[in-house]
Structure 1
Amino acid sequence: MPNRVISFGEDFFMLTPESWEEYRLLRNKVTKLVKENKQEHQAQIMRKFEQNPKLLYQIVNNQSKVKPGVSPLQTSEGTTATASAAAEELANFYSTVFCPKECVTLKLHPLLSPNDTLQDMTVNAESVLLILLGLNTKKSPGADEITPLILKQCARSLYTSLTDLFNLSLNCSMVPMDWKCGTITPIFKGGDRSDVSNYRPVTLLPVISKVLELLVANKLTKHLEGNNILSIAQHGFRKSHSCLSNLLLTLDDWTLAIDNGNPIHACYLDMSKAFDRVNHSILLQKLKQHGVTGKLLAWLENYLMDRVIQVRVDGALSKPVAVTSGVPQGSVLGPTLFLIYANDIPNLVRCKIILFADDIKLWASIHTSEDCVLLQEDLNALYDWSLRNKLPFNFQKCKMLNIGKCVEFTYTLGPHRLAWTTDEKDLGVWISSSLKTSLQCTAVYKRTSKILALLKRIFGRFTRQTLPSILNTYIRPTMEYAVQVWSPWLQKDIVLLQRIYHRATKLVTGLQSKPYEERIESLKLFDFCYRRIRGDLILTYNILHTPNHPLQKLFVRREPRISRTHDYLLAVPHSRGNSRRYFFAVRVCFAWNSLPQNVAHSPNLNIFKTNLDSFLSTQPKIEPPHSA
C-alpha cells in the first residue's frame, strides 16, 4: 500500500501506459493481500470459536463497533473529566427516581385468617447447600467482592455456617448493612453517549444476601400460591406464567371478539419507574394484608430500610446514595414484593385486565356506548389507585388501540387524554389494529438481517459444525420469541422470514451453490416452518401436561373416535376470519390431533421432543397454513 501511494500519489493523472500497468499490478497485489489477510483473520476467529463455543458472545462483542464503558458526560458545569466525576453524575441522576420517605396509611382488609398467616421461617441447611451448588459462576459479585465461584467451590465447607447466619438474621429480624449496598454498573442503551439518561443501571448485590433472599422468596411464593392469593390476571415472575401466556390469553379474547364482529378498545398502561417508586410503608401494610406477619414481616421491614447504592465507573465508586423507595433492583425478592404491591389492581375493574408486573392491559368488547363508559370508569379507578399507592402512570406511554371496526370515543386517564394508535409493541411483540402479524414479521426480519450481516462481517464463512451454534445463540432467540403469538400466516410474511434461513445456510463453506433443501438436510436442521410447528406442539404438550396451567382454558378436550388416535385430542374451535383461524389455539389443533400415540403420550417433555423430532423428520415437506 505505501509503495502504491508513493509511486502514484502526486502524478496519478499523468501516467504513461507503462506506469498504468505498474499501478494496476500493485493495486491487484494489495487487494489480494488485504483479502487474504481478512480471510486469515476470520479463520483465526472461527478456529477460536470451534475450540470453545462458549466464547461466542465475547468474540462478537470484541469485533462489534459498540464501545463499552462510560463516555464523558454532559453536566450543568460542562463535561466530566474523570471516572469519579462520571460516577457521581450518574449516581445523582439515578437517585432522582426515588420518592421521599412518606408514611401512608391505607384501609386494607386481611385476605387470610390468622391461622393461615406466615409469621416466621427457618432455613434448612440442605436447601442452602443446594442453592450454593447451583450458583451461576459467571455472575458478578457485589460490593463484598465474594464471587459465586468461591461460594460454589467451598459450598460444603460453608453451608452450615451460612445456615446459622441466615437463621440468626431471620430470628433477630436484622439484615447486615453490607448486604444492603448495591453496586451499579451503567450499561449504554443507545443514543447520545454523553447523556446520563442513556445509561441503564444494572445493580449488583452481594451473592450471599441473594442466597438468603431466594430462600425467603421461595417461602413467600409458596405462601401466596398455596393460599391462591395472587390474582390470576398477573403473569409476571410466576411459574408457568410468562410474556407468552399473557399475550396468548389476550389474543385469544381479541381474535374471538373480532371473529364475532365485535370491536375491541384496548388500553395500554405503563407506570413510571414503578419498581423504584414503591412506597415502603404501603408495601409493609400489603404484606400484612397478604398474611405475612411476625418476625418475617419485621425482617422484611429491616431489609427495606437504610439501603444505599453506589455507581462504579472504570473502578471509581461514587459516594453512597440513600434508597428511599422501591423494591431493591437486582434482588431476588424485589419481583415478589412488587407482585404483592400491585395484587389488588385487577379487583378494581369490571372490564377484562391482564398484567405482566407493572405492564397493564385493560380492554372491553364494544357493543354499545355503555361499554365505552364502563371502560372509562375502570380507567378512573386505576388512576385513583395510582394516587393512593403513590405509583404515577407514565402518560406518554399510555395509549389506546382500536381493534376491528372503528368506534370513536375519547378516553382519559386522570387529567391526560389518551391518544389512539394503530399498532403497539406489547411485551416485545408488535400488535396491529387489524391483528395481522406482518408488522412483527417485518421487525423480526430487519433485526435478524442486521445480526446476520454482523456475523458475516466477523466470521466470513461458517463451518457445518459452527452454524447450528450461531443460529441457536443469535438468530433463533429473535425469530422464535413468542412466535406462537405472531406465527406468520400471510404468504408474503412466510417467504420474508424464510429468507433468513436461506441466507444463513448459504454462508456455510461448501454449500453456497447447493439448493436450500439440500443445505438444510446436510446441516441436519429443521427449517423455520418446521420450527414454528414444532414450537406450537411443544407448548401444547406443556399446557396439557402441566396441572393448573394458565393456558388450559384455550383448549377443549374431545373423546377419541377411533382407537388408533391418542387420548389428548382437542376440539377444533369454529372460526370465520383469518385472525382467528390462524391463531395458536385454533391452528395447533390440526397438527396436535394428527400426532401418533407414542408422541402425544410421551412421559416427559424431553422424550416428547425426541419423539416429535423423529416423527417430523419422516413427514413430507411441511407447508404451514397460510393465506394469500
Structure 2
Amino acid sequence: MHRPVKTMLTGLSEDVWDIDDLRKTAVINNELLRLNVDIAALQETRLADSGILKEKDYTFYWQGKAPDEPRQHGVAFAVKNSLLSMVEPGSNGSERLLTLRLNTTTGPITLVSVYAPTLNATLETKDRFYENLTSVINSIPDKEQLILLGDFNARVGADNDSWPSCLGKFGVGKMNENGQRLLELCAFYNLCITNSYFQTKPQHKVSWRHPRSKHWHQLDLILVRRSAINCVLHVRSYHSADCDTDHSLVCCKIRLNPKRFYRSRKQGNPRIDVSKMSQPDLTQKFAEALEKELDATQTGDSAMGKWETLRNIMHCTALATFGKRTTKTHDWFEAKSSVMIPVIEAKRAALAEYKRSPSQRNLQILRATRSKAQQVARHCANEYWQQLSNDIQKAAISGNTRGMYDGIKKALGPTKSKTAPLKSSTGEIISDKQQQLGRWVEHYSDLYSRRNTVTSAALDAIECLPIMEELDAEPTVEELSKAVDKLASRKAPGSDGIPPDLLKQCKCSLLHPLHKVLCQCWKEGAVPQDMRDAKIVTLYKNKGERSDCNNYRGISLLSIVGKVFAKVILTRLQKLAERVYPESQCGFRAERSTVDMIFSLRQLQEKCREQQMPLYVSFIDLTKAFDLVSRDGLFKILHKIGCPPKLQSLIESFHTDMKGTVQFNGSCSEPFSISSGVKQGCVLAPTLFGIFFALLLKHAFGSATEGIYLRTRSDGKLFNLSRLKAKTKIRETLIRDMIFADDAAVVTHTQEELQSLMSRFSMACKDFGLTISLKKTNVLSQDTVTPPAITVDDYQLDVVHQFTYLGSTITDNLSLDAELDKRIGKAASTLARLTTRVWTNPRLTTATKMAVYNACVISTLLYGSETWTTYARQERRLNAFHLRGLRRILGITWQDKVSNFEVL
C-alpha cells in the first residue's frame, strides 16, 4: 500500500449497489465521488464476460456470464483511481462472486462482491451458490481480513439472542429461509453482519422495498470476520444516491488498525504436570517419596499444623515426581499420555541413533518408529473423542444437563477471552491494568461486605425441628474416598496449587493422611484458613457492556482438598435440606433437572389453553442472590431446622474470617474480607442457598391459597367409567411457584392473584435481606384480553411476549418458532467451533466425527425437545439444518449428486 496514512485516517468505505448496464458507469462514477466512496461492490450488472473500464475517478472490474448466455446476474467492483496501486483483481470469478484483494500496510484485505439467489430460486441453485461461496472463504487465510459485500437476498432478522456471534442488537424484521442459511454460514466461519451492529434511524437500516407489499427490507449486507468487527465504524443506507436501481446504497465505514504488539504475560506459580499422573511407575514413585517425607517430618497437633505439613509435602513431592506443566498440549494427548509418551521417546531415540550413525538400517528403524507414533496418535485421538462422545450421550439420556454441557465445553476447547476498559464506580474509563485490578477489588469488596439481616419476626416464624445428632458422627475413610471419586479431573487448583488429578490418581497413598486432617478438623470444629480463602477470576456474562463490572461473574478458585472436605459435609447437609425443600424446588436435587421444569411449564400452558383459561406467569430475578445471603440469618436457620453443633460449626468455619484475592491479567491483588453470601464455588453453596430460599418461600406463601389448581381422577379402573365420574374421587393439587435454584416463576389464573403473590414475595425478600431485580423481572400472559399491570414497590413490571426460562424460550402464543431459532443458532455455533478440532482433524475417523456430531451438535440442537409439540414445517427446518451439517462434515457438495437418503 503506497498511500497508507491517508487511507487509514479517512477510513475505507465499501458499498453495495445494483446496476444494469455499462452506460451507467459514468453516472455511478459521479454518485460515488459525491458520497466519497473508496470502493463499491456492484450487483446484477448484467454485463457479459469479464473486463475493466476506467472512468474519470473510478475503475470498474466486472464478471458476468459468457457472451452467448442470457444477460443475467453479474457482479463488479468500482475502485477509486487513487487506490489502484494496491489493488490485485481476483483471477477467478463467476456471475455471482467476484474477489478483489488490497495490499495494505496492515496486511492484505480480500473483498468479495456477492449476488445470492433469490428466495424463489431452486434448492440446487442455492446449494451451488453457497458451495462456491464456501470455497472462496476457505481459500482466504484466517489471518487475513475478509469483507463480503452484496445483495444476499436474505432477511436475517433481529434475533440477537439466537445468533449472538453473528447478529448485533439492531437488526430488522424477521428471518426467512435464506436468512437462516446465511446465518449458519456466518456462524461456521465466524462472520458478523455489520448492518445489525449500529443503532440508526429505521429508514437507514433497509435497502429494498417490495414492489407489491411496499414494505422495506434489509437484503444488502456487509459481512466481516468477528475479529475485525471493532474496526467497523458505521453502516447505514443512503437512499439519496440515484442511479435508477430499486436497491439503495449501503455504506460501511472501516478503520484499518495497525498490527498489535504483544507483551509477555507475567508467569504465575508453577503448575504440576497432571498428564503424567496416569503412569503407574510415577504414581508408585510419588507414594514412596510421600511416605518417606511424612515419616521424617514432625506434624503439628492442630488441624492447621497437620494440614500445612501435609500440603507442603504433597506439593513439593508431586512437583519433583511429575514435573512442571510448561506448555498446554492437546487434551487427547494428556488423557492418553501413558500410551503416547513411550512411542514418542522411542521415535526420539531412533532419530538420535540415526543422526549418530546414518545407516540404511537406522533409517528404516526411524521410519518405522515415526509410522508407529502416527498410528498410536490416531488411535488415541479416536479413542478419546469416542469416550467423550459416549459420556455426553449418557449424560443427555439420563437428564444430567450439567454433565452434558460440561462434556460439550470440554469438546469445544478453551475460548479466547476479550478484554475491555473498565468503568470506575463514578463512570470514568480505566485503561491502566493496575488500576483495573484495583477496580475489581473495590467491586468485590463492596459486593461481599454488605451486611444483610433476616428479621427476628421471620426467624421466630420458622418451626424448630428436632436436632439430627447422627450427623455429628466422625467421617469415615469410605466417606472421604467417595468424595475424592466425585472430583472432576483437570480443574484449576486453588492457592495451594494441588490439582484434583493428584488426589484421584494417588488416592491410595493420600487417603489416610487426609483422613487424619479431616478428623482433626471435625474435633476442632474448624477448617484451616487456606480452605476458606478464595482466588477470584472474572468471567463475562455475554450480555451488557464489558466495561461494567456488574456484567461479570466472579468465579472462586478454592482449595481442592477443601472441596473434598466440603463434599463429605454436603452428604449430611442434604439430609437437612430434604426436611424443608418444597416440592416445587428442582435445583440441585437428585433425579430432577431443568428439562422437568420446562416440561411442567409448557404442559401448564397447553392445559390452560385446552381448558380456555388465562395464564399469568411472573419470572422473578433476584439481585446477586447467592452473594447477598445473610450469613448470620443462614446459620440461625440451620440451627432451627435441626443442624447438630459440630456440623454447624464446620459449615460456619468455611465462611468465617474468609479472605479473597482477585486474579486479573496475570496479577494478584492483596487479600480482602468476604463477609456476606454463601461461598461461591463451594459445593455447599447451592444446598445452603436452597435451604435459605425454601424458608423464604414458606414465609411468603405459607398461608396463600392463590395459584392454579389441578384436579385429577386417578383411582378408577380402566373400564369402570362410572367411578371416574364420581365427584368424591377427585385429587386436587396446587401449583403456585416453580423453582430451580434461584430461578423462580409464579403462576396464577388472574391478574389479582398474581399481584397478591408478588406482593407477598416482595415482603418476604425484604424480611430475608434479598432484593428483587425489578428491571429483569418480567410478566408473561397467555390468552388474556389486556396486558397485566403488576407492580412491585410502585414499579410496574415489564410484560413480555417471550422469555428464556432455564435455557428454553417460552412464548405467550405457544409457538416454537422462537425456540427453534435459538436452538439452530446455538447448534450452528457449536458446529463451527468444532471445525478445526474435529471436522478437519485428519487423525479422526468418520465414525468418530459422527459420534462427536451427535453428542455435541445434536444435543445442543435438541435441548428440551422432549417438551416440544412440533408441526411438520418445524421438523423440516430441523431436518434441513441436520442434513446441511452432515454434508459439511462429510465434504459432500451439490456436484456429488448425493441424495439426502444416502447422506443419512
TM norm structure 2: 0.49
* 1:271 alignment partner in structure 2: 622
CA contact (8 A) 1:411 1:418 kept: yes
CA contact (8 A) 2:558 2:682 kept: yes
* 2:155 alignment partner in structure 1: none
Deviation of the 1:142 alpha carbon: 0.7
The CA deviation string for residues 19-43 of structure 1, in whole angstroms up to 9 with x for no partner, is: xxxx999889x9999978969xx9x
- 1:120 and 1:499 map into 2 onto residues whose CA distance is 58
1:194-205 matches, cutoff 5 A? 194-205=547-558
* 1:281 alignment partner in structure 2: 632
Count, aligned residues? 489
Of 256-265 and 463-472, more deviation after overlay is shown by 463-472
CA contact (8 A) 1:118 1:292 kept: no
The CA deviation string for residues 412-458 of structure 1, in whole angstroms up to 9 with x for no partner, is: 12322122111111111111111221210122122323443455588
Instruction: Output the amino acid matched with 1:392.
Output: T
Of 296-305 and 98-107, more deviation after overlay is shown by 98-107
2:498 to 146, 152, 155: 146
Higher relative contact order, structure no. (Cα contacts within 8 Å, ≥ 6 residues apart): 1
Deviation of the 1:243 alpha carbon: 1.0
1:419 to 778, 784, 798: 798
Instruction: Output the amino acid matched with 1:185.
Output: V
- 2:445 and 2:854 map into 1 onto residues whose CA distance is 39
- 1:457 and 1:133 map into 2 onto residues whose CA distance is 33
Q: Is 1:170 paired with 2:529?
A: no
Q: Is 1:52 paired with 2:388?
A: no
Larger Rg: 2
* 1:580 alignment partner in structure 2: none
Q: Is 1:518 paired with 2:902?
A: yes
CA contact (8 A) 1:142 1:207 kept: yes
* 2:763 alignment partner in structure 1: 384
Q: Is 1:502 paired with 2:883?
A: yes
1:73 to 419, 422, 441: 422
Q: Is 1:92 paired with 2:464?
A: no
Deviation of the 1:164 alpha carbon: 2.0
CA contact (8 A) 2:631 2:676 kept: yes
1:363-402 matches, cutoff 5 A? 363-366=747-750, 372-402=751-781
Unaligned runs of 5+ in 1: 3-11, 16-22, 367-371, 521-628
CA contact (8 A) 2:614 2:782 kept: yes
Q: Please state whether the residue corresponding to 1:497 is helix, strand or coil.
A: helix
* 1:136 alignment partner in structure 2: 488
Deviation of the 1:102 alpha carbon: 5.0
Of 284-293 and 503-512, more deviation after overlay is shown by 503-512
Q: Please state whether the residue corresponding to 1:174 is helix, strand or coil.
A: coil
- 1:134 and 1:358 map into 2 onto residues whose CA distance is 24
Deviation of the 1:503 alpha carbon: 0.7
RMSD (Å), alpha carbons = 3.7
- 1:78 and 1:408 map into 2 onto residues whose CA distance is 41
Q: Please state whether the residue corresponding to 1:200 is helix, strand or coil.
A: strand
CA contact (8 A) 2:467 2:641 kept: no
- 1:518 and 1:102 map into 2 onto residues whose CA distance is 64
- 1:439 and 1:72 map into 2 onto residues whose CA distance is 34
CA contact (8 A) 1:192 1:198 kept: yes
CA contact (8 A) 2:620 2:776 kept: yes
* 2:596 alignment partner in structure 1: 245
CA contact (8 A) 1:134 1:152 kept: no
Q: Please state whether the residue corresponding to 1:330 is helix, strand or coil.
A: coil
2:513 to 151, 161, 170: 161
Q: Please state whether the residue corresponding to 1:262 is helix, strand or coil.
A: coil
1:477 to 832, 838, 859: 859
Deviation of the 1:275 alpha carbon: 0.2
* 1:434 alignment partner in structure 2: 813
Q: Please state whether the residue corresponding to 1:355 is helix, strand or coil.
A: strand
CA contact (8 A) 2:471 2:572 kept: no
CA contact (8 A) 1:263 1:407 kept: no
Deviation of the 1:312 alpha carbon: 0.9
1:260 to 611, 617, 621: 611
TM norm structure 1: 0.70
Q: Please state whether the residue corresponding to 1:452 is helix, strand or coil.
A: helix
CA contact (8 A) 1:120 1:294 kept: yes
- 1:168 and 1:239 map into 2 onto residues whose CA distance is 31
- Alpha-carbon distance change, 144 to 71 in structure 1, aligned in 2, over 3 angstroms: farther
Q: Please state whether the residue corresponding to 1:434 is helix, strand or coil.
A: coil
CA contact (8 A) 1:69 1:313 kept: no
CA contact (8 A) 2:466 2:641 kept: no
Deviation of the 1:129 alpha carbon: 2.0
- 1:489 and 1:358 map into 2 onto residues whose CA distance is 30
Deviation of the 1:57 alpha carbon: 6.5
* 2:475 alignment partner in structure 1: 123
Deviation of the 1:211 alpha carbon: 0.5
* 1:290 alignment partner in structure 2: 641
- 1:201 and 1:25 map into 2 onto residues whose CA distance is 49
CA contact (8 A) 1:429 1:440 kept: yes
CA contact (8 A) 1:188 1:200 kept: yes
Deviation of the 1:477 alpha carbon: 3.1
Structure having the higher helix fraction is 1
Q: Please state whether the residue corresponding to 1:234 is helix, strand or coil.
A: coil
- Alpha-carbon distance change, 13 to 49 in structure 1, aligned in 2, over 3 angstroms: farther
- 1:300 and 1:285 map into 2 onto residues whose CA distance is 12
Poorly superposed stretches of 4+, deviation over 6 Å: 12-15, 23-28, 30-39, 45-50, 55-59, 457-460
Deviation of the 1:360 alpha carbon: 1.0
Q: Please state whether the residue corresponding to 2:673 is helix, strand or coil.
A: strand
1:547-566 matches, cutoff 5 A? none
Instruction: Output the amino acid matched with 1:170.
Output: W
CA contact (8 A) 2:619 2:778 kept: yes
Deviation of the 1:113 alpha carbon: 4.3
* 1:224 alignment partner in structure 2: 577
Deviation of the 1:470 alpha carbon: 3.7
CA contact (8 A) 1:270 1:359 kept: yes
Deviation of the 1:338 alpha carbon: 0.3
Q: Is 1:206 paired with 2:206?
A: no
Deviation of the 1:118 alpha carbon: 5.9
Q: Is 1:493 paired with 2:822?
A: no
Structure having the higher strand fraction is 2
1:323 to 674, 677, 686: 674
The CA deviation string for residues 500-520 of structure 1, in whole angstroms up to 9 with x for no partner, is: 211111124464442122212
1:465 to 833, 837, 847: 847
CA contact (8 A) 2:450 2:628 kept: no
